[in-house]
């Protein structure tokens, strides 16, 4: 690894990276997306927010990113993560690649550094590292329209990683991709998470994806969303393709699936 | 496929050959009508006579063409700069937009032919002609730029917000590049319209008995029943319009070809 690796989060410290407490969000049009959401994001974890479409998962992510303000409740940042409050320590990956079509791959990845006022001399090597991390070093001069959907998403991930943020927020990033590409990106994301040691909050509506990736799944109720149940996935990392066909994986998928069904029923 | 092989595709040949064939047929029909009905030149001159007039009167005609083109170019330039600047101001300060936009529309929908005589009273002639060219051409730039600035990808806008972009970073790095295809579409319309505006004003000014532009030559030749020269001047104006169209289209193509769908070849 080229970057300095922060020491393991002290296991005695249960201080969350960020904690949502009693968070509610009602939009101007009267739609209540969240009500009474309590959520801790723990240092170094890969946490999935799992829920049906429209349950406020994405809204929760936007609140954490500071792109939206809660109507009620509080969002508290851990002491060591004070800079995340200002967005400096957060990487965000949208459902679409959300690239600037007029800029090259390198130009897109450089954006967060340029906006943050990083010295120009420092930008190029950091962009090269981030592109290397996602396996796109050879495509730095390509334009987004020349890339496949999976490659565009890799660029989007590289852009989120280039500032070396402690917290990575991902909003159904692979939902629009074909299954083969999605599986490949799942594996690569897990590898990145393990080597770069980020805290990840991953929004998905796929039971299978959440089980494969996470060490904790938070199942949410339909709108207005709140936490219905938390599941811990004990399966060890690194997880390989063989994990997808294991009995352990199938068992977790059944538990998560049942929790999701119960969440739907509880709301009805 | 190489470009050389593509140039010989049947459809490309047809698209080049057919318009030329139409032109040749049209000129032949024109010539036939003139000789068959033995039309005098003051009713309808033949193509040969028009060509001869174009050569014989080239000194006066091309001097006038220069005058008209200069006006057109100045009007076009002012319309482009003014249209883009005003759209940016509108975008940054909604109050200004609400106050001024209705009047921009009123200037646009009032026929310039009706405004020109008034302008000729209050402005020096060259100024009035220029003002007409500007009035006709600036609105498409304003309207298209406004549309472009408002059609920024919302997720990209969020991304800029997440990284704490300043208003000028948002304007120059996000809004203006996003709007570029629309701005160029406005510029393409403005190029042709500024010629229209210049011609309209010259004709209005010509009837007041002054001026030396190409449209003035047409009006003057009309009074003198010098029909061949009218045709010769008309052809020059038409060619000028075609050149402007191709110049602005080429500008658009070269600015967008790397990234925008409109300028990208279908072939992959």
Residue of B nearest to A68 (CA): B158
The mean pLDDT value for B91-98 works out to: 92
The mean pLDDT value for A18-31 works out to: 92
Please check whether residue A78 touches B, CB under 8 A.
no
pLDDT greater than 90 at residue A100: yes
Looking at residue B8, its pLDDT comes to 64
Please check whether residue A66 touches B, CB under 8 A.
yes
For residues B260 and A60, the model is more confident at: A60
ipTM: 0.89
Looking at residue A94, its pLDDT comes to 95
The mean pLDDT value for B76-99 works out to: 94
Please check whether residue A116 touches B, CB under 8 A.
yes
Contact call for A67 and B165, based on CB within 8 A: no
pLDDT greater than 50 at residue A259: yes
Confidence of residue A11 (pLDDT cuts 50, 70, 90): very low
pLDDT digits (tens, 9 = 90+) for B101-143: 899 889 888 888 888 889 889 988 888 889 998 999 999 999 9
Average confidence score pLDDT of chain B: 89
Please check whether residue B165 touches A, CB under 8 A.
yes
Looking at residue B207, its pLDDT comes to 55
Contacts 24+ apart (CB under 8 A), A75-81: A75/A18, A75/A19, A75/A20, A75/A21, A75/A23, A76/A18, A76/A19, A76/A21, A77/A17, A77/A18, A78/A15, A78/A16, A78/A17, A78/A18, A78/A19, A78/A43, A79/A15, A80/A15, A81/A17, A81/A18, A81/A166, A81/A167
Please check whether residue A148 touches B, CB under 8 A.
no
Q: Any bridge partners for residue A10, and if so which?
A: none
Contacts 24+ apart (CB under 8 A), A6-13: A6/A197, A8/A44, A9/A43, A9/A44, A13/A43
CA distance A41 to A169: 11
Looking at residue B9, its pLDDT comes to 77
CA distance A213 to A201: 11
Confidence of residue A5 (pLDDT cuts 50, 70, 90): very low
CB-based contacts of B93: which residues, under 8 Å, 6+ apart? none
For residues A261 and A85, the model is more confident at: A261
Q: What pTM was computed for the model? A: 0.85
- Residue A116, φ and ψ in degrees, nearest 5: -85, 0
pLDDT digits (tens, 9 = 90+) for B149-207: 999 999 999 999 999 999 999 999 999 999 999 999 999 999 999 999 999 888 888 75
Helix (H) or strand (E) holding A220: strand A216-220
Average confidence score pLDDT of chain A: 89
CA distance B152 to B149: 6
Looking at residue B265, its pLDDT comes to 60
Contact call for B258 and A88, based on CB within 8 A: no
pLDDT greater than 80 at residue A196: yes
pLDDT greater than 60 at residue A135: yes
Residue of B nearest to A103 (CA): B259
């Amino acid at each position: 690894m080229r970057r300095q690796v922060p020491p393991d989060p002290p296991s005695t410290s249960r201080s969350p990276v960020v904690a949502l407490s009693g968070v509610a969000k009602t939009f101007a049009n009267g739609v209540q997306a969240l009500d009474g959401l309590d959520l801790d994001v723990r240092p170094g974890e890969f946490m999935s927010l799992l829920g049906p479409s429209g349950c406020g998962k994405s809204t929760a992510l936007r609140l954490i990113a500071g792109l939206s303000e809660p109507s009620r409740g509080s969002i508290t940042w851990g002491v060591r993560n004070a800079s995340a409050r200002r967005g400096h320590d957060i990487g965000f990956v949208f459902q679409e690649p959300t690239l600037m079509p007029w800029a090259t791959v390198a130009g897109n990845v450089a954006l967060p550094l340029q906006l943050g006022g990083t010295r120009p001399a420092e930008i190029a090597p950091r962009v090269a590292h981030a592109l290397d991390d996602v396996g796109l070093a050879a495509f730095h001069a390509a334009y987004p329209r020349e890339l496949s959907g999976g490659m565009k998403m890799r660029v989007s991930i590289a852009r989120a990683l280039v500032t070396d943020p402690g917290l990575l927020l991902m909003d159904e990033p692979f939902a629009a991709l074909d299954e083969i590409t999605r599986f490949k990106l799942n594996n690569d994301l897990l590898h990145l998470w393990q080597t770069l040691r980020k805290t990840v909050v991953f929004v998905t509506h796929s039971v299978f994806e959440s089980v494969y990736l996470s060490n904790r799944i938070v199942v949410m109720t339909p709108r207005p969303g709140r936490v219905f149940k938390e599941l811990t996935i004990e399966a060890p990392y690194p997880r390989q393709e063989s994990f997808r066909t294991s009995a352990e994986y199938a068992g977790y998928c059944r538990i998560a699936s049942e929790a999701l069904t119960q969440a739907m029923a509880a709301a009805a | 496929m190489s470009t050389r092989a593509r140039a010989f595709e049947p459809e490309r040949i047809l698209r080049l050959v057919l318009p030329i064939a139409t032109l040749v047929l049209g000129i032949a029909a024109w010539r036939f009508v003139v000789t068959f009905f033995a039309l005098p030149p003051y009713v309808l001159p033949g193509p040969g006579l028009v060509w001869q007039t174009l050569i014989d009167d080239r000194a006066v005609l091309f001097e006038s063409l220069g005058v008209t083109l200069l006006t057109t170019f100045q009007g076009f330039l002012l319309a482009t700069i003014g249209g883009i600047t005003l759209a940016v101001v509108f975008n940054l300060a909604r109050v200004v937009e609400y106050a001024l936009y209705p009047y921009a529309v009123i200037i646009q929908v009032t026929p310039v032919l009706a405004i020109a005589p008034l302008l000729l009273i209050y402005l020096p002639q060259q100024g009035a002609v220029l003002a007409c060219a500007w009035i006709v051409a600036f609105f498409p730039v304003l309207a298209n730029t406004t549309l472009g600035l408002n059609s920024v990808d919302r997720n990209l806008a969020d991304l800029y917000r997440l990284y704490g972009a300043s208003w000028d970073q948002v304007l120059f790095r996000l809004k203006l590049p996003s709007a570029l295809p629309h701005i160029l579409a406005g510029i393409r319309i403005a190029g042709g319209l500024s010629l229209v505006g210049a011609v309209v004003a010259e004709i209005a000014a010509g009837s007041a008995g002054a001026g030396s532009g190409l449209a003035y030559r047409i009006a003057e030749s009309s009074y003198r029943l010098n029909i061949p020269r009218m045709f010769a001047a008309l052809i020059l104006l038409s060619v000028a319009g075609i050149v402007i169209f191709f110049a602005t289209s080429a500008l658009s193509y070269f600015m967008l070809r790397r990234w925008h769908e409109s300028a990208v070849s279908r072939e992959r």
